[in-house]
């Protein structure tokens, strides 16, 4: 396979996947592993017009954002934490071009890996656009305009999502008003940065540029911060982010944006007042929309819902026979790991296996500092669902390893069923909780009780001891912290 692949010679496949992001490429690989002849068509083009597999996640989402979060966190530590360890450095400087070069290299290594995996698994991967023609046919248009028609016994739509544009208020201009991709690519640190939307993407990108020196304000229309997060954890997050200098304004609905030569002035309503603020750059991070542009859903009889998501049933079947859909384009949690699982499970089902996705155990992570991670029901959701709950939490301040790595902010909170002792949800804010969350996911997958966790030995000194302590705290057994239970 080359960067400009010639269309596959054989025109007929068991599975044709349209879209090579986390929903698409693992589906194609799993199909090939199961002996199906698989084709994956992906239309992604980087800024330099180079094609690459991996979709939003590898090219303009999860991976590049985590690369920048790491660079900016190290920069922040060099300036604020090294001295505590006795490390002397002169005032650290940041070479933004170098940081961006590294980010690109990280993305490229990952997307190049997908290409190698296709080769290893004998998946035919084509760069270009896929369009549904109906009757099991897909029109492939290569980036040089050449076309070919392929036939698939099963066709999987995995075309993902694109940033929502506030067309009337703040249309993207690729310079001063940008989407998340544009915000990952800034060539210099903006002096004054405005962000519309305090969702996951807004706070992650805000953290990156704020750590690098941008005076950052995030304007959020809703009155509450991170409403999808357990209230105790969200409260702690707001406190920590505010302490770091992120200016998060809640109940602030942006109503107008006026572009000047060198800046943008944002008008927003807050507390019944109309306010204005001027920024050098404005990131619009108000969510993502399903991407089905020019896909031919109408021709093929694939029904979309009122918000444009592809309608599917429990088996990922669309309204058109033989056409399925997975990942962001179908709605639900817009997360790479959810897309991966759906693609793999769908293909296994097509192969006759009894695979399924456990939608009650999808981990969520926000890669700020401290990180936020959770799985299962929050205390509020558990109560609303009729559970009598018991709750326990433990702070990282009581954890030796957390002290050793200068990261004592945060806590782990367990929400368990008071009658059955089943773990219903685990909610965390603190160091590397993105990694600790895997244990909580396993607990939910295996229907663990709080006692199961309490009886499980955790290495010392590790951050996971706080996970253990929080489980102990549910029943008032915590050794290293005050037992916050009820």
Indicate which residues carry an active-site annotation: 460
- Phi and psi angles of residue 293, each rounded to the nearest 5 degrees, phi first: -60, 130
**Are residues 156 and 17 in contact, defined by beta-carbon separation less than 8 angstroms?**
yes
For the bound state, the minimum distance from the C-beta of residue 208 to ligand AMP, rounded and expressed in Å, comes to 16
Residue 51 found at the interface with ligand FAD (CB under 6 A): no
Among 7, 14, 24, 37, interactor with ligand FAD by CB under 6 A: 24
Interacting partner of 287 out of ligand FAD, ligand AMP, none (Cβ under 5 to 8 A depending on kind): ligand AMP
SS (H, E, C) 314-359: CCCECCCCCEEECHHHHCCCCCHHHHHHHHHHHHHHHCCCCCCCCH
Residue 206 found at the interface with ligand FAD (CB under 6 A): no
Backbone φ/ψ region at 217: left (φ over 0), alpha (ψ -120 to 50), beta = beta
Among 206, 327, 392, 395, interactor with ligand FAD by CB under 6 A: 327
Query: Residues 219-238: x/- map of binding to ligand AMP (CB under 6 A)?
Result: xxxx----------------
The number of residues that bind ligand AMP (CB under 6 A) is: 15
Interacting partner of 56 out of ligand FAD, ligand AMP, none (Cβ under 5 to 8 A depending on kind): ligand FAD
Q: How far apart are CA 273 and CA 268, in angstroms?
A: 8
Residue 283 found at the interface with ligand AMP (CB under 6 A): no
Residue 197 found at the interface with ligand FAD (CB under 6 A): no
The label of the residue with tokens 């939307």 reads: 197
Residue 163 found at the interface with ligand AMP (CB under 6 A): no
The label of the residue with tokens 């992120």 reads: 246
3 state DSSP class of 32: helix
Interacting partner of 471 out of ligand FAD, ligand AMP, none (Cβ under 5 to 8 A depending on kind): none
Which is nearer to ligand FAD, 339 or 448 (by Cβ)?
Answer: 339
Report the interhelical angle of 464-474 vs 433-445 (nearest 10°). 50
Interacting partner of 426 out of ligand FAD, ligand AMP, none (Cβ under 5 to 8 A depending on kind): none
**Are residues 173 and 281 in contact, defined by beta-carbon separation less than 8 angstroms?**
no
Interacting partner of 99 out of ligand FAD, ligand AMP, none (Cβ under 5 to 8 A depending on kind): none
Cβ-Cβ contacts under 8 Å for 270 (sequence gap 6 or more):
249, 251, 252, 253
- Please list the helix, strand and coil fractions of the chain in percent, rounded to the nearest 5, in that order: 35, 25, 40
Residue 241 found at the interface with ligand FAD (CB under 6 A): no
Residue 61 found at the interface with ligand FAD (CB under 6 A): yes
Which is nearer to ligand AMP, 239 or 253 (by Cβ)?
Answer: 253
Interacting partner of 62 out of ligand FAD, ligand AMP, none (Cβ under 5 to 8 A depending on kind): ligand FAD
Residue 26 found at the interface with ligand FAD (CB under 6 A): no
Which is nearer to ligand FAD, 18 or 372 (by Cβ)?
Answer: 18
CB neighbours of residue 78 within 10 Å: 16
For the bound state, the minimum distance from the C-beta of residue 246 to ligand AMP, rounded and expressed in Å, comes to 15
Residue 206 found at the interface with ligand AMP (CB under 6 A): no
For the bound state, the minimum distance from the C-beta of residue 465 to ligand FAD, rounded and expressed in Å, comes to 26
Q: Which residues pair with 258 in a beta bridge?
A: 265
Query: Residues 153-172: x/- map of binding to ligand FAD (CB under 6 A)?
Result: -----xxxx-----------
Q: How far apart are CA 453 and CA 471, in angstroms?
A: 6
Residue 18 found at the interface with ligand FAD (CB under 6 A): yes
Which is nearer to ligand FAD, 23 or 125 (by Cβ)?
Answer: 23
Residue 254 found at the interface with ligand AMP (CB under 6 A): yes
**Are residues 242 and 248 in contact, defined by beta-carbon separation less than 8 angstroms?**
yes
Question: In a 10 Å sphere around its CB, with 0-12 CB exposed, 13-18 middle and 19+ buried, how is residue 17 labelled?
Answer: buried
Lookup: tokens for 21: 């992001």
Residue 345 found at the interface with ligand FAD (CB under 6 A): no
For the bound state, the minimum distance from the C-beta of residue 412 to ligand AMP, rounded and expressed in Å, comes to 23
Q: Indicate the length of the chain as a whole number.
A: 486
Which is nearer to ligand AMP, 199 or 343 (by Cβ)?
Answer: 199
**Are residues 27 and 34 in contact, defined by beta-carbon separation less than 8 angstroms?**
no
CA-wise closest residue to 142 among 26, 8, 292, 294: 8
Among 264, 336, 362, 423, interactor with ligand FAD by CB under 6 A: 336
- Phi and psi angles of residue 271, each rounded to the nearest 5 degrees, phi first: 55, 40
Q: Report how far Cα 280 is from the mean position of its chain's Cα atoms.
A: 26
CA-wise closest residue to 351 among 31, 123, 38, 37: 31
Interacting partner of 24 out of ligand AMP, ligand FAD, none (Cβ under 5 to 8 A depending on kind): ligand FAD
3 state DSSP class of 59: helix
The closest residue (CB) to ligand AMP is 199
Lookup: tokens for 84: 């505590």
Query: Residues 176-205: x/- map of binding to ligand AMP (CB under 6 A)?
Result: --------------------xxxxxx----
Q: How far apart are CA 266 and CA 208, in angstroms?
A: 21
For the bound state, the minimum distance from the C-beta of residue 126 to ligand AMP, rounded and expressed in Å, comes to 31
**Interface ranges with ligand FAD (CB under 6 A):** 18-24, 41-44, 55-57, 61-62, 65, 129-130, 158-161, 180, 201, 291, 295, 327-329, 334-337, 339, 367
């Amino acid at each position: 396979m080359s960067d400009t692949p010639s269309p596959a010679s054989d025109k007929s496949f068991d599975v044709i996947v349209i879209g090579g992001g986390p929903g698409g490429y693992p589906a194609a690989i799993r199909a090939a592993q199961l002996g199906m002849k698989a084709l994956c068509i992906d239309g992604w083009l980087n800024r330099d017009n180079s094609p690459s597999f991996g979709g939003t996640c590898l090219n303009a989402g999860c991976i590049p954002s985590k690369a920048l979060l790491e660079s900016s966190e190290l920069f922040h530590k060099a300036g604020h934490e090294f001295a505590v360890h006795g490390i002397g450095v002169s005032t650290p400087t940041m070479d933004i071009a170098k940081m961006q070069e590294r980010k690109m290299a990280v993305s490229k290594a990952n997307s190049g890996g997908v290409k190698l995996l296709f080769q290893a698994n004998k998946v035919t991967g084509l760069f270009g656009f896929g369009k549904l023609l109906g009757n099991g046919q897909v029109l492939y248009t290569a980036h040089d305009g050449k076309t070919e028609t392929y036939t698939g016994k099963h066709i999987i739509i995995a075309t993902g999502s694109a940033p929502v544009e506030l067309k009337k208020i703040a249309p993207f201009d690729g310079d001063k008003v940008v989407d998340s991709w544009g915000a990952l690519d800034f060539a210099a640190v903006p002096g004054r940065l405005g962000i519309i939307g305090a969702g996951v993407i807004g706070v992650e990108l805000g953290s990156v540029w704020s750590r690098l020196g941008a005076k950052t304000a995030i304007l959020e229309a809703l009155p509450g911060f991170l409403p999808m997060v357990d209230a105790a954890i969200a409260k702690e997050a707001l406190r920590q982010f505010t302490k770091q200098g992120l200016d998060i304004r809640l109940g602030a609905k942006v109503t107008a944006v006026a572009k000047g030569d060198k800046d943008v002035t944002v008008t927003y309503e807050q507390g019944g007042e109309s306010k204005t603020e001027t920024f050098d750059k404005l990131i619009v991070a108000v969510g993502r929309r399903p991407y089905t542009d020019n896909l031919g859903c109408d021709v093929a009889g694939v029904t979309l819902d009122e918000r444009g998501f592809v309608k599917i049933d429990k088996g990922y079947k669309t309204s058109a026979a033989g056409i399925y859909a997975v990942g962001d384009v179908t709605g639900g949690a817009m997360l790479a790991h959810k897309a991966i699982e759906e693609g793999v499970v769908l293909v296994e089902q097509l192969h006759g296996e009894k695979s399924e996705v456990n939608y009650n155990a999808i981990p969520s992570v926000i890669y700020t500092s401290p990180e936020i991670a959770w799985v299962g029901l929050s205390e509020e959701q558990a109560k609303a669902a009729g559970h009598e709950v018991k709750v326990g939490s433990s702070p990282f301040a009581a954890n030796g390893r957390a002290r050793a790595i200068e990261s004592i902010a945060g806590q782990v909170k367990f929400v368990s069923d008071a009658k059955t002792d089943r773990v219903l949800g685990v909610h965390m804010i603190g160091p590397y909780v993105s990694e600790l969350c895997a244990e909580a996911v396993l607990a939910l997958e295996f229907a663990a009780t709080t006692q199961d966790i309490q009886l499980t030995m955790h290495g010392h000194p590790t951050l996971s001891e706080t996970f253990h302590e929080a489980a102990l705290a549910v029943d008032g057994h915590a050794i290293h912290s005050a037992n916050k239970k009820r």
